[in-house]
Amino acid sequence: MKSLRVGVLGVQGAVSEHVEVVNDTLKIMGINGVCETVKNLNQLKEVDALIIPGGESTTIGRVAKERGLMDEIVRKAKDGTPIFGTCAGLILLAKEVYDLKVGVVRQPLLGLMDIKVVRNAFGRQRESFEVDLNIPVLGEKPFPAVFIRAPVIEKVWGKTKVLAEFEGKIVAAQEENLLVAAFHPELTEDRRLHQYFLKMAL
Ligand code: GLN
């Protein structure tokens, strides 16, 4: 079998953490593959699966657009390439995004997924926290979810399925080849969400 190439969009944010976790998870799963940072169009064209990491969605979107990466990500997504957006990556994948302070945002978005997202939804009192999250598709054991200035999904429609909720807010979802989490799965030891994503690419 051809080796699986997984890319992590390397513009800004938690890039190296995902690369390390994916390489570790590929090994655990016995998959012949490699994960690398994707910084330009040629590298992006080569990957079979892509992670858009957490960071600052405005910066990631703006720089990715300047480098001509946004259109290619949209093209790949429509071709069925699995894409996993965490935190800022979730924001970028959404069709609708707004900020509690400024209303509808004007930042560049991929606009691929049928979700409506609120940026920085937990407010200043809870900029960062960890909770045990119930994610039924990963089994019974709760998942340690680290939230950092996290968004939430206010609503989903179309083919999008809710995968996890916290305090009544949607924090993980999937629409066919698109997977999103409002938290940072690359910052804890639990590899089940990365495993779930890699299975989508097999
Ligand atoms: N608050 C960030 C944004 O709106 C996302 C935070 C994160 O990715 N940890 O882009």
pLDDT at 200 > cutoff 90: yes
Q: How confident is the model at residue 29 (pLDDT cuts 50, 70, 90)?
A: very high
Cα of 117 vs centre of ligand 1, distance in Å, is 12
Q: Kind and range of the H or E element at 170? A: strand 169-175
Angle at 118 between CA 84 and CA 40, to 5 degrees: 35
Q: Where are the domains of the chain?
A: 4-201
In ligand 1, which atom is closest to the CA atom of 53?
8
Tens digit of each residue's pLDDT (9 = 90 or more) over 88-109: 999 999 999 999 888 889 999 9
Angle at 81 between CA 198 and CA 104, to 5 degrees: 105
Active site residue 87: yes
Residues 6 or more apart in contact with residue 81 via CB below 8 angstroms: 47, 48, 49, 50, 177
Cα of 90 vs centre of ligand 1, distance in Å, is 9
- Per-residue confidence (pLDDT) for residue 192, from 0 to 100: 98
pLDDT at 39 > cutoff 70: yes
- pTM for the model stands at 0.97
Please measure the distance between the N-terminal and C-terminal CA atoms of the chain and give it in whole angstroms: 10
Cα of 120 vs centre of ligand 1, distance in Å, is 7
In ligand 1, which atom is closest to the CA atom of 55?
8
Least confident of 39-43, 71-75, 121-125: 121-125
Superfamily of domain 4-201: Class I glutamine amidotransferase (GATase) domain (3.40.50.880)
Distance CA 105, CA 147 (A): 21
